[in-house]
């Protein structure tokens, strides 16, 4: 099924809503790293061979997930979005992170994060690369996410070009802009501009992130996070220490270095978000705040309600009363749609 050209602006008032915004593009799991409810704004242009979007949100987030089949994605972080961590390593202003559908996205973002994302049909992009004789045409895409070097001046120009195009989405008719983009073959021009920016080393697609002590610590943190999620965050710190065979001090250092929060804080936020998710999912007969809270390990209900209100800016009873809300989602090129009709 091919996708018609489309453009628009989507706002989300919660982490769950933003997760839905990108649900056609990514299969992502978002984890909050600080207290407070997230709000976001996403401006996008979609074609049958490309999706470009500019996303803003106002809380640091840890997110992991996968890309649609047959796609390749690039991030052009703005100054507001730096530094962020990819696979436990900091991405600098002279780098462009990218990944194929074979890799797993794993990044930690900054507060007040802003990022321009460009997603292409992989065969289309490699076809453009062949036309301009770029090494990307001969690159294997079966790799983990990579941060490749980029031409600094050209990266700024590419970002300006994309931001200007998406600014038009907000100021002009989305339908008219889509027609103009189709007539000008904008996806081909943006693909060529991206390739002109990217400095691709021959080993980029096979080496990934080199193994060193920081990577080993990061892998241990990921193991702890996966273990905690599988158990609904009902996990103790000594249990995590035993899982990786390290001291509490080493565990704390690894978490701070890799994702910027302590293991105890991550467990606490995970349980709070679990309550929030259950409360907004619906109102089956007999569900109560007390029942949901205790299911997630909160037994001091007064303290729990205060923490919940500080985090989500409403009482848990208010979350339960209001109707579930779902933001719109960005469409994706037909071959890579995650939920085909």
* Beta strand ranges found along the chain (DSSP E): 6-12, 26-32, 40-47, 50-57, 61-67, 71-77, 84-86, 89-91, 95-100, 105-108, 113-121, 146-150, 198-199
Bridge-based pairing state of the strands 71-77 and 113-121? antiparallel
Write down the pLDDT at residue 178.
67
Write down the pLDDT at residue 339.
47
Q: So where are the chain's domains?
A: 6-208+327-336
Q: Alpha-carbon distance 161 to 153, whole Å?
A: 12
Write down the pLDDT at residue 138.
83
Q: Write out the CATH class of domain 6-208+327-336.
A: mainly beta
* 263-280 helix and 301-312 helix, angle to the nearest 10 degrees: 90
Write down the pLDDT at residue 201.
58
Write down the pLDDT at residue 77.
73
Sign of CA dihedral 198, 202, 208, 211: negative
Contacts of 68 (CB under 8 A, 6+ apart): 24, 25, 26, 101, 119, 332, 333, 335, 336, 337, 338
Over residues 249-299, the pLDDT tens digits come to: 888 889 988 888 899 889 998 999 889 888 887 666 678 888 898 888 888
User: In this structure, are residues 90 and 97 in contact, taking their beta carbons and an 8 Å threshold?
Assistant: no
Write down the pLDDT at residue 177.
67
Neighbour count for residue 281 (Cβ, 10 Å):
12
Residues of the chain short of pLDDT 50, as ranges, are 1-2, 202-211, 335, 339-341
Predicted TM-score of the model (pTM): 0.74
């Amino acid at each position: 099924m091919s996708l018609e050209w489309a453009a628009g602006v989507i706002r989300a008032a919660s982490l769950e809503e933003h997760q839905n915004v990108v649900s056609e593009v990514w299969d992502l799991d978002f984890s909050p790293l600080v207290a407070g409810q997230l709000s976001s704004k996403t401006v996008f242009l979609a074609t049958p061979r490309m999706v470009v979007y500019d996303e803003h949100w106002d809380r640091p987030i840890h997110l992991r997930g996968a890309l649609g089949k047959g796609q390749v994605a690039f991030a052009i972080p703005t100054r507001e979005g730096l530094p962020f961590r990819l696979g436990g390593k900091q991405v600098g202003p002279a780098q462009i992170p990218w990944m194929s559908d074979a890799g797993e996205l794993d990044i930690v973002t900054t507060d007040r994060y802003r990022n321009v994302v460009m997603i292409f049909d992989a065969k289309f992009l490699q076809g453009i690369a062949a036309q301009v004789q770029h090494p990307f045409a001969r690159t294997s895409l079966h790799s983990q996410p990579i941060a490749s070097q980029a031409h600094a001046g050209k990266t700024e120009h590419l970002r300006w070009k994309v931001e200007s195009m998406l600014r038009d989405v907000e100021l002009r008719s989305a339908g008219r802009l889509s027609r103009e983009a189709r007539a000008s073959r904008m996806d081909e021009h943006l693909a060529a501009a991206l390739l002109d920016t990217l400095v691709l080393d021959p080993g980029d697609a096979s080496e990934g992130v080199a193994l060193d002590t920081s990577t080993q610590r990061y892998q241990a943190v990921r193991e702890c996070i996966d273990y905690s999620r599988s158990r609904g965050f009902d996990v103790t710190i000594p249990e995590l220490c035993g899982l990786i065979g390290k001291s509490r001090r080493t565990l704390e250092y690894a978490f701070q270095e890799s994702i910027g929060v302590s293991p105890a804080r991550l467990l606490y936020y995970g349980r709070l978000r679990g309550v929030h998710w259950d409360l907004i999912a619906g109102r089956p007969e007999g569900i109560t705040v007390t029942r949901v809270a205790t299911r997630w390990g909160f037994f001091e209900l007064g303290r729990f309600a205060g923490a919940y209100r500080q985090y989500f800016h409403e009482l848990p009873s208010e979350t339960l009363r209001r109707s579930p809300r779902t933001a719109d989602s960005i469409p994706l090129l037909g071959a890579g749609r995650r939920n085909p009709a």
